[in-house]
Amino acid sequence: MRSLIISFLLAVLFPSLASAEQISCKVVGISDGDTLTCLASGNKQIKVRLAEIDAPESKQPYGAQSKRILSDLVFGKLVVLSIQDTDRYGRTVARVQSAGVDVNYELVARGAAWAYTKYLKDQKLQDAQTLAGNMEKGLWALPDSSRVAPWDWRAGERTASAPKAEPTRTSSFPKLGNATGDGGFSCSTIKHCSQMSGCAEAMHQLRVCRNPQIDGDRDGVPCEAICR
């Protein structure tokens, strides 16, 4: 009977969590305001992207504060993951609970993250964002010019860093260099993340050019500010 009551309460209070696969793990790393690493049983390492929210990128205003808030909530603690999906970078997409606190919701309520409208399932997150905005909590206290949704910021970064088209070449001689043919990218120069034209080039540098410096946490996702 008790288990039935608990299941009913989960379904009513957290409908998006009630039917999800759940895993317990200890948080051992924080990448940014919406990404963490935890250890499950058998020391299995899990990279977790918090579901349905989007926190400011590290280079954005309030990015460092958002990361710190997530760290205060979960670092070194046992959490329960309610898994929704696996993203294209192999990260586990999940709602996270710590000591009964819905961490995804708490981040939005504190103004440390946006409700990610593209992937939103829980309307309570949007309601929490509206309330945080009205009360000017966290990032909502920033000037309008500094308050840019992370998905818009990433799109702007990709546009700004896109390489300009080269003039048409009439020469029939082959172009010299160390290009591999993979998207036209070259391994002749080992680059930093700030020099990448976009995620595709970062992936090329990591996987083809064997450039480990752009994957500091060794999770297979380079330059996480642009590869999300």
Given the residues 2, 52, 57, 157, the one annotated as active site: 57
Closest Cα to residue 122, out of 18, 192, 6?
18
Q: How far apart are CA 40 and CA 128, in angstroms?
A: 30
Q: Which residues of 191-216 are buried (b: 16+ CB within 10 A; e: fewer)?
A: bebeebbbbbbbbbbbeebebeebbe
169 is an active site residue: no
User: Taking the mean position of all CA atoms in its chain, how far away is CA 196?
Assistant: 19
Neighbours of 167 (CB within 10 A): 6
Q: How far apart are CA 123 and CA 16, in angstroms?
A: 10
Given the residues 52, 91, 95, 154, the one annotated as active site: 91
57 is an active site residue: yes
Q: How far apart are CA 128 and CA 110, in angstroms?
A: 9
207 is an active site residue: no
Rg of the chain taking only CA atoms, in angstroms: 21
Given the residues 49, 95, 110, 154, the one annotated as active site: 49
Just list the catalytic residues: 49, 57, 91
